[in-house]
Amino acid sequence: MKRAFGFCIVRVLFSLVSIVASGLNVDGAEPAAIVLTAPKANQVVQRVGFDLATAQKKPETAALGFADVAVRGNLPNGTERAMWEYRIVPSKESTGRETDWAKLEIRVADAKFEATARIAAGGWYRLEIRGRSNNDVIARGAVEPIGVGEVFVVAGQSYATNCNDERFKVADPLGRVVAFDSAKESWGVANDPQPAPDGSDGGSIWPPLGDALLKEFQVPIGFANVAVGATSSLQWMPEGTLHPRLVQAGKSLGRFRAVLWQQGESDVIAKTTAETYVANLKTIRETAAKAWGFEPPWLLAKSTLHPTVYNDPAGESRIRGAIDELVKLPGFRAGPDTDTLTGENRGDAKSCRHFSGIGQRRAAEMWFAVLKRELVTPQRDAAMSGTRSTQALFVSNDGSFKRYRIPSLLVTKKGTLLAICEGRVDGGGLTGNIDLVLRRSLDAGLTWQPLQKIADLGDDTLGNPCPVVDRETGTIWLPFTRSPGKFNEAQIVAGQSSGPTAVWVTRSDDDGATWSEPRDISATTRQEKWGWYGTGPGIGIQLANGRLLIPSYHTEPGSGMYRSHAIFSDDRGATWKLGETVGEHTAECQAIERHDGAVVLNMRGTNKQFFRSIAISRDGGQSWSEPQLDRNLPEPACQASLLAEDNGGRVGNSSYWLFCNPPGATRRNLTLRVSRDEGQSWPIAKLIDAGPTEYSSLVWLPDGQIGLLYELSRAGQTYRPELHFARVPISWLADSTSPEPFVPNFNAR
């Protein structure tokens, strides 16, 4: 009897396990269906983080890149309190790896949800979503196939549409070359005819190009074709009907690699001048980039030849010359010269009168060569030690400011890179008229927009920028400090000034293009008795629970002792609160959140400790443990930068932290360190610059590389004249065989 009873228990337990494994509730009820509206079936999302050097050696690794894919859908009734998870399952024939179920942080509004799922490039996946309550799966949904790879917008006229002789089909048996139908907002295999808006129904050059790119780079390929036959550059201007369609297609994609522009014949016919063609394309590109919020390169094919319609060598030469001028300008690059495809490459008057089937294949080969150059050359250049260098973004005595100091580097939700610092009108000291200034980059730091002011409050001293991005709204909050301009730091610390340092904040809702009128938040973020105050400097962080946290410091009355603390907002920046004070002899600081939710404060010392101090908070920055010296992180009493990233194994096989400072007794030899165990040890230390170097700021760039903005004094020049920006490849950081500094040694004298 006992054996029978035990056998029954085993059978019941086995049945329960089987039910849970199958996705059913314990009571046998089928989980509610989740209707996913994004991503869509057959969609390809643009990847970032592509590391050529590693991908060529190990194409199955995360070096192929990844994307943070937007996931949206309808929330079933009764699932509001579920724990949400996702996983990806690759098709058996494709590359890519199946993942375990991972937590999915969803945001809910009006019975709809949205979230972000990080997905590796390379595979052709099924994305699965489920909601769990205890051990029960109460809701589930899926979409397939989807992929992360390379995406392109195609624009121009008939040679870019379906006006060619032969209809091609995608050769890949999995259909991993796809096309976006902008009218239907849907994706499908990119068999001809392409879903171009002009209704043409012949063949195109895009299926064979997609197959070649897929074979070369081992990631899915997507095209969004908005080209329209018989259109001139004038018709693509913002006031026309074609430009809004171009803009909308780019917005629907979110991100893409480049615009492939195949156009010119109608401008030959219209006798457009070279000057007008250049001006038109500049306007088209700049207006679209502003609407998209980033600046993808425009690859310009030379496409002026149309032998079955006209013979105008002078007109063709005029537009070809205009393209030559355009590719010298920022934002434009040379595409293929398809005008060289003559003879058998062109259809006759009895055909579609554009490319023949042979010409289509050869045009695709020419585009492939260009795109391979675009994808491979920048990666190769970045990885080669001989090409490592920095950009001087802020150079003192440039006619705008006598000095620049205190770097802060930030990437917005849309991927815009912001380089922020102090612009010192009167000189190098922390006194007098100081403004907050900014330069923006829309291409991950390859090019930069001109200097702009964020805040200028007369002759007062503005400083210590410490911005943070709200990852849900995209708003950039920039806390900073304001001190009486007629007094220096020592006078304010001693209480000998007209007033203490105040805490202010400004915000941007358009990726840093414009900023709100600054407002004073001192009433809730500082004690009245404090003297000097600093936010950061560097960057703030957003905790997993949504709290915005700004590491800060101040001086105590009487003793003048420096001590760290944090301020935070739990209502999306509307109001700010003050946390408790950290222990003695702590100052400028940066914060980071561990996986267990604890916040780590990494602080500069002020009492000749010669090592960084560490304090821990287990309540989101409200209170702190007693600071302890971290003897793995030496310092000369200087600000440092700190950054965390769960990167899927781009250096080693685990998440890691980055730390940057000058580590010796003097402010030289800026060094970048890596920890794979959340700051317990720092086994990798790579020299960035052997010269006189001081404050710095780190960020993950949209392409997956590391961005670094730091202070540099060149040999023989005056104190701190420049702020330099460096793009540091992951492959260099992971290469333990390279002892040379990232920057050539000309600064080390």
How confident is the model over 220-271, as pLDDT tens digits?
999 999 999 999 999 999 998 999 999 999 999 988 999 999 999 999 999 9
Q: Residue 105: what are its φ and ψ, rounded to 5°?
A: -85, 110
580 is written with which tokens? 């408790």
pLDDT score for 387:
45
> Strand 32-33 relative to strand 136-156: parallel, antiparallel, unpaired?
parallel
pLDDT at 719: 54
Among 363, 328, 372, smallest CA distance to 342 is for: 363
What is the Cα–Cα distance from 657 to 644, expressed in whole angstroms? 4
The predicted structure's pLDDT at residue 537: 97
**Cα 281 from Cα 331, distance rounded (Å):** 11
Q: Give me the mean pLDDT over the 701-728 stretch.
A: 79
d(CA 349, CA 626): 84
**Distance, C-alpha 185 to centroid of its chain:** 25
**Is a pLDDT exceeding 50 seen at residue 11?**
no
How many Cβ atoms from other residues are within 10 Å of residue 208's Cβ?
23
* Distance of alpha carbon 708 from alpha carbon 662, whole angstroms: 14
| Assigned token pair, 117 | 């799922």
* Site of tokens 């935070």: 568
- Among 745, 741, 746, which residue's Cα sits nearest to residue 688? 741
As a whole-number percent, the residues of the chain with pLDDT over 70 amount to 88
Determine the pLDDT at residue 528.
Answer: 95
* Contact indicator for 366, 337 with CB cutoff of 8 Å: yes
Asked if the model's pLDDT at residue 52 lies above 90, the reply is no
Query: Is residue 445 within 8 Å of residue 701, measured between CB atoms?
Result: yes
**Taking Cα atoms as reference points, which of 71, 93, 177, 88 lies closest to residue 126?**
88
Bridge partners, residue 420, by sequence: 408, 438
Structure confidence at residue 51 (pLDDT): 58
Q: Is 743 exposed, middle or buried (0-12, 13-18, 19+ CB in 10 A)?
A: buried
pLDDT tier, 735 (very low <50, low <70, confident <90, very high otherwise): low
Report in angstroms the alpha-carbon separations of 129 from 141, 494, 657, 691: 5, 59, 29, 51
Q: Give the domains, in start order, of the chain with CATH numbers.
A: 21-146 (2.60.40), 149-383 (3.40.50.1110), 385-747 (2.120.10.10)
**pLDDT score for 514:** 95
Helix or strand (DSSP H, E) at 568: strand 562-569
| 306 Cβ contact partners less than 8 Å away, ≥ 6 residues apart | 265, 268, 353, 354
Q: What is the largest CA-CA distance in the chain?
A: 102
Query: Which residues, 6 or more positions from 609, have their beta carbon under 8 angstroms from its beta carbon?
Result: 585, 629
Q: Rounded CA gap, 657 and 576, in Å? A: 27
What's the Cα-to-Cα distance from 51 to each of 65, 520, 705, rounded to whole Å? 7, 44, 8
d(CA 632, CA 610): 11
- Span 81-99, pLDDT tens digits: 899 999 999 987 776 778 8
DSSP-assigned beta bridge partners for residue 614: 602, 628
Residue 645: Cβ-neighbour burial (10 angstroms; 0-12, 13-18, 19+): middle
221 contacts 177 by C-beta, under 8 angstroms: yes
Rounded Cα gap, residues 394 and 399, in angstroms: 11
| pLDDT the model gives residue 477 | 98
DSSP label at residue 247: H
pLDDT of residue 135: 85
Please report, in angstroms and rounded to a whole number, the separation of the first and last CA atoms in the chain.
Answer: 89
Take residue 707 and report the two structure tokens written for it: 């961005």
- Structure-block tokens of residue 427: 């000189």
Cα–Cα distance for residue pair 179/193, rounded to 1 Å: 10
The HSE-up count of residue 565 (CA atoms within 13 Å, CB side) is: 20
pLDDT at position 4 is 40
How confident is the model at residue 730, as a pLDDT? 76
222 touches 150 (CB < 8 A): yes
Give residue 17's pLDDT: 33
pTM of the model: 0.63
What mean pLDDT comes out for the span 47-65? Answer: 59
Which neighbouring-strand residues pair with 310?
none
Two tokens, residue 719: 């104190």
Q: Which of 39-53, 264-278, 559-573, 619-633 has the lowest mean pLDDT?
A: 39-53
Q: Does residue 448 register a pLDDT over 50?
A: yes
What are 437's two structure tokens?
A: 């200034």
What's the CA angle centered on 279, arms 274 and 281, to 5 degrees?
95
For residue range 484-536, what is the model confidence (pLDDT) as tens digits? 999 999 999 999 999 999 999 999 999 999 999 999 999 999 999 999 999 99
Structural tokens at position 371: 């795109």
Confidence class of residue 713 from pLDDT cuts 50, 70 and 90? confident
- Cβ atoms of 455 and 512 within 8 Å: the answer is no
* pLDDT on residue 66: 81
Q: Which of the residue ranges 213-217, 349-353, 629-633 would you say has the lowest mean pLDDT?
A: 349-353
* Tens digits of residue pLDDT in 275-333: 999 999 999 999 998 888 778 899 999 999 999 899 999 999 999 999 999 998 888 99
In sequence order, which ranges of 167-312 are alpha helices (DSSP H)? Answer: 206-217, 242-253, 265-269, 274-292
Three-class SS state of 746: helix
Residue type, 306: H
Distance CA 191, CA 168 (A): 6
**Cα–Cα nearest to 438, from 462, 472, 474:** 462
pLDDT band at 650 (very low <50, low <70, confident <90, very high): very low
Helix/strand/coil (H, E, C) string of 316-327? HHHHHHHHHHHC
Note whether 586 and 595 are within 8 A (CB): no
In one letter, which amino acid is 299?
Answer: L
Tell me whether the omega of the peptide bond preceding residue 31 falls within 30 degrees of 0, making it cis. no
Q: What is the mean pLDDT of residues 187-206?
A: 96
Structure tokens at 115: 């979230």
What is the average pLDDT score of the chain? 88
Binned at pLDDT 50, 70 and 90, residue 15 comes out as very low
CA distance 662 to 691: 10
Cα atoms in the 13 Å half-sphere on the side-chain side of 422: 32
Read off the tokens for 483.
């001190």
Q: Is the pLDDT of residue 388 over 70?
A: no
pLDDT of residue 257: 93
Give which of 634, 638, 629 is closest to 610, Cα–Cα.
634
Residues 6+ apart with CB under 8 A from 4: none
pLDDT in tens, 684-700: 899 999 889 999 999 99
Query: Is pLDDT of 58 > 70?
Result: no
What residues have CB less than 8 Å from 232, skipping those under 6 apart? Answer: 266, 267, 269, 270, 272
In this structure, of 46-60, 248-262, 429-443, 631-645, the range with the lowest mean pLDDT score is 46-60
Report the C-alpha gap between 195 and 181 in whole angstroms. 5
Cα gap 52→93, rounded to integer Å = 23
Judge contact between 525 and 567, C-beta under 8 A: yes
Query: Please, which pLDDT band fits residue 375 given cuts at 50, 70 and 90?
Result: confident
Work out the angle between the directed axes of helices 274-292 and 242-253 (0-180°, nearest 10): 40
